[in-house]
Amino acid sequence: MSDERDSAPVTVASLRELKARGGRFACLTAYDATFAALEEQAGVEVLLVGDSLGMVIQGRETTLPVTVEDMIYHCACVARGRRRALIMADLPFMSDLTPQRALEDGARLMKEGGAHVIKIEGGGEMAETVSLLSRRGIPVCAHLGLQPQSVHKLGGYPVQGRDPEAARRIVEGARRLCEAGADLLLLECVPAALAREVSTNVPVPVIGIGAGPDCDGQVLVVYDMLGITPGRRPRFVKDFLAQEGSIPAALSAYVREVKAGSFPGPEHGFR
Per-residue confidence in pLDDT tens, the chain, 271 aa: 344 445 899 999 999 999 999 999 999 999 999 999 999 999 999 999 999 999 999 999 999 999 999 999 999 999 999 999 999 999 999 988 899 999 999 999 999 999 999 999 988 999 999 999 999 999 999 999 998 887 777 777 778 889 999 999 999 999 999 999 999 999 999 999 999 999 999 999 999 999 999 999 999 999 999 999 988 889 999 999 999 999 999 999 999 999 999 999 999 989 8
Q: Which of 10, 242, 264 is nearest to 117 (CA)?
A: 10
Determine the pLDDT at residue 6: 54
- Annotation says 112 is catalytic: no
Q: Convert the pLDDT of each residue in 184-209 to its tens digit.
A: 999 999 999 999 999 999 999 999 99
Q: How many CB atoms lie within 10 A of CB 70?
A: 18
Which H/E stretch holds residue 184?
strand 184-188
Separation between Cα atoms, residue 19 and residue 26, nearest integer Å: 12
Determine the pLDDT at residue 233: 86
Determine the pLDDT at residue 5: 42
Determine the pLDDT at residue 148: 80
Which H/E stretch holds residue 118?
strand 117-121
Q: Which of 144, 150, 117 is nearest to 210 (CA)?
A: 144
Determine the pLDDT at residue 271: 86
Separation between Cα atoms, residue 73 and residue 82, nearest integer Å: 15
Out of 45, 188, 197, 257, pick the active-site residue. Answer: 188
Which H/E stretch holds residue 244?
helix 240-244
Q: How many CB atoms lie within 10 A of CB 4?
A: 18
Q: Which of 90, 68, 85 is nearest to 143 (CA)?
A: 90
**Peptide linkage before 230 cis (omega within 30 of 0):** no
Domains and CATH numbers, the chain: 4-268 (3.20.20.60)
List beta partners, residue 4.
none
- Is the Cα dihedral 35, 41, 44, 47 positive or negative? positive
Determine the pLDDT at residue 43: 97
Determine the pLDDT at residue 110: 98
Separation between Cα atoms, residue 256 and residue 66, nearest integer Å: 32
Task: Yes or no: say if 25 and 205 are a contact pair by the CB < 8 Å rule.
Answer: yes
Separation between Cα atoms, residue 108 and residue 231, nearest integer Å: 34
Separation between Cα atoms, residue 26 and residue 1, nearest integer Å: 16
